[in-house]
Amino acid sequence: MYRKTCQIDTILADLNYSVDAHYDWLVNMFSCVVNNAFEQPDIIYPGAHKHCRVGTWLHHHQPMGEEESSCIQAISEAHMRMHDSGRQMMLAIQNKTVTAEHFTDFKQHLALFSSAVTTYKSYLLNMRSGIDILTGLPGRRMLDETFVQQLIRAPEQNIYLLLLDIDRFKNINDTYGHLIGDSVLRGLAQLLRDGIRDDDNAYRYGGEEFIILLRAPSDKDACLTGLRLCNTIADTTLNCDDQALHITVTVGLTKVQAKESLDEAAKRADAAMYRGKQTGRNRCMFMDEWGEIHHFVG
């Protein structure tokens, strides 16, 4: 799953606040040297990195996904080494054994910590720029950029591409106006967030079309997920301003083949969905690897 923009903004604000606290830590080091007072716990205590603001932030922050976990691990390791290098430098100053290497080592670890934090911020900002503003779901750009990596990271799992389209969405816009239409899109996006597992991802593909990349042990299990989403959406009342609306969606579903491009898989799912539109809407259609389309009814 991907983070919401408000979550990203909160993470960035909390991280900036925590990192800024290290300026106080550096100033405190200077003060210790000038005043010949080296016994402060945040300076010489071996586990000080666990108790500063960054350490506390790292302890409470829960990464989401492998890439973010890798970023957080890099920050944690660089942060620990930076504190340890600073401690060794201060002990050397206290014992009058300090050399230029102590300062060079500390400077390098400061730079490594700063680099790790910058890498994570870039990751978050790149994710934020790929989120659809209206629905809060990742958009087509993020799907395009991450599709291949998602296949690589799940070599032992079957990945299915589920394409769904709101039935007669133009009628909603024509009848109630585009603001209500936007509200419907936001409501559907929330239903998709609530209706998929944590390791599946939903995207706004464009207009009233959404894509879900889901993992399932078999074609039948994937189709059951598609049918369940259809039924859940049809049975849910969307409260859009003063309007209580019901919508349905038509689902096109296909298994992503090894080394297949996003466009190839999406074309099959789109063909399956189009057949569903032609044959009655509000249904889940599956296209197999031989190009045969099946109406899945459970």
**Which value, to the nearest 10 degrees, does the dihedral of the CA atoms of residues 140, 141, 145, 150 take?**
-30
**Which residues neighbour 261 within 8 Å (Cβ) at sequence distance 6 or greater?**
147
- Say whether both 154 and 242 belong to one domain: yes
pLDDT score at 272:
97
The last residue of one of the domains, among 85, 108, 129, is 129
- Say whether both 159 and 239 belong to one domain: yes
The CATH number assigned to the domain holding 206 equals: 3.30.70.270
pLDDT score at 6:
87
pLDDT score at 77:
97
What number of CA atoms fall less than 13 Å from residue 219's CA on the CB side?
16
| pLDDT tens for each residue of 67-111 | 899 999 999 999 999 999 988 988 888 889 999 999 999 999 999
The last residue of one of the domains, among 94, 129, 164, is 129
Q: Work out how many domains the chain is built from and give that number.
A: 2
**Which value, to the nearest 10 degrees, does the dihedral of the CA atoms of residues 14, 19, 25, 26 take?**
-160
Residue 134 inside a domain? The answer is: no
Neighbours of 78 (CB within 10 A): 19
pLDDT score at 50:
87
pLDDT score at 4:
81
**Residue 149 exposed, middle or buried by CB count within 10 Å (0-12, 13-18, 19+):** exposed
Rounded CA separation 261/247 (Å): 31
pLDDT score at 1:
60
- Say whether both 289 and 179 belong to one domain: yes
* Parts of the chain with a pLDDT under 50: none
Residue range of the domain that includes 149: 140-296
Instruction: Report the phi/psi class of residue 226: left, alpha or beta, with left for phi > 0 and alpha for psi in -120 to 50.
Output: alpha
Residue 208 among the catalytic residues: yes
- Give the three-class secondary structure for 241: coil
pLDDT score at 297:
92
What number of CA atoms fall less than 13 Å from residue 61's CA on the CB side?
26
| pLDDT tens for each residue of 109-155 | 999 999 999 999 999 999 999 999 999 999 999 999 889 988 887 76
What number of CA atoms fall less than 13 Å from residue 89's CA on the CB side?
23
- Say whether both 117 and 147 belong to one domain: no
Q: Of residues 208, 209, 264, 289, which has the active-site annotation?
A: 208
Residue 46 inside a domain? The answer is: yes
pLDDT score at 42:
67
- Say whether both 66 and 190 belong to one domain: no
